[in-house]
Amino acid sequence: MGNSYPVVIIRNQNTWIEGAAEQQLKTTAALAGMRRVAGMPDLHPGRGYPVGAAFFSSGVLYPALIGGDIGCGMALWQTELPARRAKADKLAKQLGSIDAPLAGDVPATIGGGNHFAELQTVDAVYLPEYLPAALEPDKLLLLVHSGSRGLGGEILRRHIDQHGHRGLPDAEAADYLAQHDAAVAFAVRNRAAIAQRMLERWRSSGQCLLDLSHNFVEACQLNGEHGWLHRKGATPANQGLAVIPGSRGDYSYLVMPAADTALSLYSLAHGAGRKWQRSECKGRLSHKYPADSLRKTALGSTVVCADKHLLYEEAPQAYKNIDNVVQALCDAGLVRVVARLKPVLTYKTAGGCEA
């Protein structure tokens, strides 16, 4: 890297990370102006750059590190739906399909890939003093994972067309940053619109407890040096309480970041992290699990997904163990676990695809 900063990976003895992801992290660390990089315990290979990592550079900003889904993140909402009497199948029927565009000609509400919306119960509380004041443990929570959809992708395409994958010197970054900030703001509004549409179907009101992006860049001072902190699938650790979801068949965790998270570049894991590539999933699973069997999880929750390929690509088996990911963060002194959340109903897509 041409400096004294290490390449750090937050891990413990149970952390499994592919060699390809570690190599991508090291390759990215060698980019011009890169000062320090940190891989999270959910680190996995991406399209040229690793996912589940934070990068601090000086003098140069790298839009390609953020990728096309600018502003992708998690919003956690408190609903008025009683948890004790929650019946997933009834809730799914009431919800129906929310795949229609929210406005204009944007093609999908939630987005593709690993985006989802999930009703959850509070399964266990470990540090009640850190719970949001508005959180009601006897009512369902709604977690929305989505981003800027086509907007962020178009911003990245324009950048690549003009500049390739090279970084932007500080003096040339203003135009990209303005577009980036607009995409981040759109993604926040998109998550709120998804939550509100779902709550209306359930005839419930709700309140947003937290909303954190995990794909974005921001100005940052590190060891007295001004630069850019890029997060690619990394949840901010400097904005208070955070949620780290598992796969659709696993728990999610509310965590309180430690006072000092400089080790991980003020960042945390953003989820369990993929264990298998999407192209592998159907071949690994279809001979063992009929598609319909993947619409119910080991925790008893229901999955709404009319796309058979997506059912396999997003199967719980394709992801790392969320308990191991969160424990690695705890062992590194980066977080304390506040509560555990259990899935009830996970929504991916209700129609328009092969069933």
Q: Report the distance separating Cα 210 and Cα 245, nearest Å.
A: 14
Mean pLDDT score of the chain, rounded to an integer?
93
Across residues 254-283, what is the average pLDDT?
95
Catalytic site includes residue 287? no
Across residues 29-34, what is the average pLDDT?
95
In the chain, pLDDT over 70 holds for what percent of residues?
95
Q: Report the distance separating Cα 263 and Cα 243, nearest Å.
A: 20
Tens digit of each residue's pLDDT (9 = 90 or more) over 291-315: 999 999 999 999 999 999 899 999 8
Write out the DSSP string of 86-154: --HHHHHHHH----S-SSTT---SS-STT-EEEEEEEEEES-GGGS-TT--TTEEEEEEEE--THHHHH
Tens digit of each residue's pLDDT (9 = 90 or more) over 102-148: 655 444 578 777 899 999 999 999 999 999 999 999 999 999 999 99
Is 44 known as a binding-site position?
no
Identify which of 75, 78, 117, 77 has the alpha carbon closest to the alpha carbon of residue 97. Answer: 117
Domains of the chain, earliest start first:
7-349 (3.90.1860.10)
Binning pLDDT at 50, 70 and 90, where does residue 4 land?
very low
Is 117 known as a binding-site position?
yes
What is the pTM for the complete model shown?
0.94
The number of angstroms, rounded, from the C-alpha of 251 to the middle of its chain's C-alpha atoms is 14
3-state secondary structure of 58: coil
Tens digit of each residue's pLDDT (9 = 90 or more) over 160-195: 999 988 899 999 999 999 999 999 999 999 999 999
Is 116 known as a binding-site position?
yes
Is 145 known as a binding-site position?
yes
Q: What is the structure's pLDDT at 100?
A: 75
Residue in 44, 159, 180, 270 annotated catalytic: 270
Write down the H helix ranges in the chain: 19-29, 63-66, 88-95, 150-163, 174-201, 278-285, 308-313, 322-331
Residues 150, 108: contact at Cβ < 8 Å?
A: no
Q: What is the structure's pLDDT at 103?
A: 57
